[in-house]
Amino acid sequence: MGKGEITVLRLGHRPQRDKRITTHVALVARAFGANSIQISEKDAELEKTIRDVVDRFGGDFSIETGVSWKKVIRQWEGPVIHLTMYGERLEDVLGNIEKGDVLVVVGAEKVPGEIFKLADYNVSVGNQPHSEVAALALFLDRFTEAKWAGQRFEGKRIILPSRKGKTVIDIDEGYLDREDCLKVLREAGCEQDVIKHSEVVTKLAVKMAEACEADQDLVRTASMLHDIGRSVTHGPEHGYQGGRILRKMGFPESIASIVERHVGGGLGAQELKGLGLPAKDLVPVTLEEKIVCLADKLVDDNQKVRLEIEIQKLMEKGLEKATQRVKELHRELTKICCIDPEELDL
Ligand SMILES: [Fe+2]
């Protein structure tokens, strides 16, 4: 507590009649930035429904039903905000609410009169009759200053925004199969030659992972997606952009960081700064990050290439640091894999 968390307290839930609307209150709370919901009436079925959503779609959100609402409000240390069409206008009150943990009280059709006295703020989202679900959504949007849109859930299921139809990706233990990777690359707008290159890099990277006893599924997924940033730029910042795109889509950090660190044997903070990006070290650290990074260097377009040719290119561009990093990566992985990765057949 005290970390700026948002808890929603739902009053007057009737398990038989209100299941759908209270489910919506809980889902809206989760999607738009609240951390938990407490419901005054016991409803085990509702708890299960919401926990199933959290399990599939991720995020850190908890539900508790059968709480004593008076006790919750009395013991609450931060501001208590009651959403009601009779309250003061949201735009008039918003700036006055202290930061910290807030309790947002959402009533059903009838709420006990005392709640108006117990709440620190009685707030209306418009003074017209509408819905507590809409009121909560609008309140959370304004209160979080729309930051909910940048939340990361990292669930097992990801819905990719699509122009037409539905693109649903199921992440199994943090991995994707080839077909799902292709869907993600296409949805991001990657060109066909980038996709072909990624498939060849994947073949080589997986062989390296096998030889080095690295996590093959992770390497397979990340190498398929390593150039997703090329959907926005072909410059050296495409790695950074790729990580950003995948995080925004809801991909796990393990995949995003491999993608982010694959360019030029890794980029140092100063190099990132020189590209106009946040100064952040993006040098491969884990075995899987190193494998994808080197496999990419060993594949030009969709063909395997001798490393010395790639090193020559880096030197001609005056990229001294990158040249050294690639050489070092090659030395290190040759040692770990007990075979020179250049010798692996596709
Ligand atoms: Fe790349």
pLDDT 10s digits, 214-269: 999 999 999 999 999 999 999 999 999 999 999 988 898 999 999 999 998 888 88
* Ligand 1 centroid from CA 319, angstroms: 16
Residue 1 is predicted with a pLDDT of 44
* Ligand 1 centroid from CA 230, angstroms: 7
Domain residue ranges of the chain, discontinuous segments joined by +:
6-150, 175-343
User: Does CATH place domain 6-150 in 3.10.290.10?
Assistant: no
* Ligand 1 centroid from CA 238, angstroms: 7
* Ligand 1 centroid from CA 91, angstroms: 47
3-class DSSP state of 82:
strand
* Ligand 1 centroid from CA 158, angstroms: 24
* Ligand 1 centroid from CA 172, angstroms: 25
Residue 72 is predicted with a pLDDT of 96
Alpha-helix residue ranges (DSSP H) falling in 58-191: 69-75, 90-93, 114-118, 132-143, 178-188
Looking at the chain, the number of H-run helices and the number of E-run strands are: 15, 10
Residue 2 is predicted with a pLDDT of 52
At 102, list the tokens.
């807030």
How many CA atoms, within 13 angstroms, populate the side-chain half-sphere of residue 127?
6
**Can you tell me the mean pLDDT for 96-122?**
92
On the question of pLDDT at 143 being above 80, the answer is yes
Q: How many angstroms separate the Cα of 326 from the Cα of each of 19, 190, 312?
A: 58, 26, 11
Measured CA to CA, the distance from residue 259 to residue 170 in angstroms comes to 19
**Can you tell me the mean pLDDT for 159-177?**
85
3-class DSSP state of 86:
strand
Residue 131 is predicted with a pLDDT of 93
Residue 250 is predicted with a pLDDT of 85
231 versus 3: the higher-pLDDT residue is 231
* Ligand 1 centroid from CA 227, angstroms: 5
Angle between helical axes of 192-212 and 320-337 (0-180°, round to 10): 50
| pLDDT tier, 322 (very low <50, low <70, confident <90, very high otherwise) | confident
* Ligand 1 centroid from CA 293, angstroms: 8
* Ligand 1 centroid from CA 233, angstroms: 10
On the question of pLDDT at 144 being above 90, the answer is yes
At 90, list the tokens.
């949201």
On the question of pLDDT at 74 being above 70, the answer is yes
CA angle 78, 63, 99 (to 5 degrees): 20
* Ligand 1 centroid from CA 336, angstroms: 23
* Ligand 1 centroid from CA 296, angstroms: 7
* Ligand 1 centroid from CA 309, angstroms: 17
* Ligand 1 centroid from CA 257, angstroms: 13
Q: Strand 36-39 to strand 6-10: parallel, antiparallel, or no bridges (unpaired)?
A: parallel
User: Does CATH place domain 175-343 in 2.60.120?
Assistant: no
* Ligand 1 centroid from CA 64, angstroms: 46
* Ligand 1 centroid from CA 262, angstroms: 6
* Ligand 1 centroid from CA 165, angstroms: 29
Lowest mean pLDDT among 129-133, 171-175, 275-279: 171-175
* Ligand 1 centroid from CA 193, angstroms: 12
* Ligand 1 centroid from CA 47, angstroms: 44
How many CA atoms, within 13 angstroms, populate the side-chain half-sphere of residue 141?
9
Per-residue pLDDT of 37-59, as tens digits, reads 999 999 999 999 999 999 999 98
108 versus 285: the higher-pLDDT residue is 285
Measured CA to CA, the distance from residue 315 to residue 297 in angstroms comes to 14
* Ligand 1 centroid from CA 187, angstroms: 18
At 321, list the tokens.
């640091």
* Ligand 1 centroid from CA 242, angstroms: 9
Question: Sign of the C-alpha dihedral, residues 249, 250, 254, 260?
Answer: positive
Mean pLDDT of the chain: 93
* Ligand 1 centroid from CA 171, angstroms: 23
